[in-house]
Amino acid sequence: MKVLVYAESTEGKFKKSSYETILYASKLAKKVSGETIAVSIGNVSDEQLNTLGKYGANKVLKVSEDRLNSFDSKAYSKVIAELAKSEGANIIVLSHNYNGKAIAPRLSVKLDAGLVSGAVELPNTDGSFKVKKGVFSGKAFAHYEIKSENKIISLMPNSIALEENNVTAEIVQSNIDLSDQDFGVQVKEVKKSSGKIPLTEAELVVSGGRGLKGPENWGMVEELAEVLGAGTASSRPVADMGWRPHEEHVGQTGTAIRPNLYIAIGISGAIQHLAGVNGSKTIVVINKDPEAPFFKAADYGIVGDAFEVVPKLTEAIKELKAS
Ligand SMILES: Cc1cc2nc3c(=O)[nH]c(=O)nc-3n(C[C@H](O)[C@H](O)[C@H](O)COP(=O)(O)OP(=O)(O)OC[C@H]3O[C@@H](n4cnc5c(N)ncnc54)[C@H](O)[C@@H]3O)c2cc1C
Instruction: Indicate whether residue 276 lines ligand 1 (CB < 6 A).
Output: yes
Note the pLDDT of residue 175.
Answer: 93
- Residue 36 pLDDT > 90, yes or no? yes
292-319 pLDDT, tens digit each = 999 999 999 999 999 999 999 999 999 9
Q: What is the whole-number distance in angstroms between the Cα of residue 302 and the centre of ligand 1?
A: 17
- Residue 197 pLDDT > 80, yes or no? no
Residue 193 binned pLDDT confidence (cut-offs 50, 70, 90): low
Backbone phi and psi for residue 51, each to the nearest 5 degrees, phi listed first? -65, -20
Residue 106 binned pLDDT confidence (cut-offs 50, 70, 90): very high
- H or E stretch covering 173: strand 170-173
Nearest to 62 by CA among 20, 101, 14, 95: 14
Instruction: Indicate whether residue 279 lines ligand 1 (CB < 6 A).
Output: no
In the chain, what are the domains?
2-182 (3.40.50.620), 199-322 (3.40.50.1220)
Q: From CA 177, how far away is CA 161, in angstroms rounded?
A: 37
Give the nearest ligand 1 atom to 254 CA.
Answer: 8
When the pLDDT of each residue in the chain is averaged and rounded to a whole number, the result is 94
Q: What is the whole-number distance in angstroms between the Cα of residue 322 and the centre of ligand 1?
A: 35
Instruction: Indicate whether residue 266 lines ligand 1 (CB < 6 A).
Output: yes
Q: Are 299 and 282 in contact (CB under 8 A)?
A: yes
Q: What share of the chain is helix, strand, coil (3-state, %, to 5)?
A: 35, 25, 40
What are the angstrom distances between the C-alpha of 111 and each of 25, 28, 211, 278? 18, 20, 48, 33
Residue 194 binned pLDDT confidence (cut-offs 50, 70, 90): low
Give the nearest ligand 1 atom to 268 CA.
Answer: 49
Neighbours of 135 (CB within 10 A): 12
Instruction: Indicate whether residue 207 lines ligand 1 (CB < 6 A).
Output: no
Instruction: Indicate whether residue 301 lines ligand 1 (CB < 6 A).
Output: no
Q: Are 267 and 287 in contact (CB under 8 A)?
A: yes
Q: What is the whole-number distance in angstroms between the Cα of residue 266 and the centre of ligand 1?
A: 8
Backbone phi and psi for residue 152, each to the nearest 5 degrees, phi listed first? -125, 135
- Based on the number of CB atoms within 10 Å of its own CB, is 190 exposed (0-12), middle (13-18) or buried (19 or more)? exposed
Residue 137 binned pLDDT confidence (cut-offs 50, 70, 90): confident
**Nearest CA, atom 6, ligand 1:** 272
Q: What is the whole-number distance in angstroms between the Cα of residue 263 and the centre of ligand 1?
A: 14
Note the pLDDT of residue 195.
Answer: 61
- Residue 98 pLDDT > 90, yes or no? no
**Share of residues in the chain with pLDDT > 70 (%):** 99
The dihedral over CA atoms of 265, 269, 273, 275, expressed in degrees to the nearest 10, equals 120
Q: How many CA atoms lie within 13 A of 81 on its CB side?
A: 20
3-20 pLDDT, tens digit each = 999 999 988 999 889 999
In order, the DSSP letters of 232-279 are EEE-HHHHHTTSS-GGGBBSTTSB----SEEEEES----HHHHHHHTT
Q: What number is the average pLDDT over the span 145-165?
A: 93
Instruction: Indicate whether residue 272 lines ligand 1 (CB < 6 A).
Output: yes
Q: Are 3 and 93 in contact (CB under 8 A)?
A: yes
Note the pLDDT of residue 307.
Answer: 98
Alpha helices in 91-161 (DSSP H): 98-111
Q: What is the pTM of this model?
A: 0.82
Do the bridges between strand 9-10 and strand 2-6 make them parallel or antiparallel, or are there none, so unpaired?
A: unpaired
Q: What is the whole-number distance in angstroms between the Cα of residue 208 and the centre of ligand 1?
A: 9
Bigger pLDDT: 198 vs 107: 107
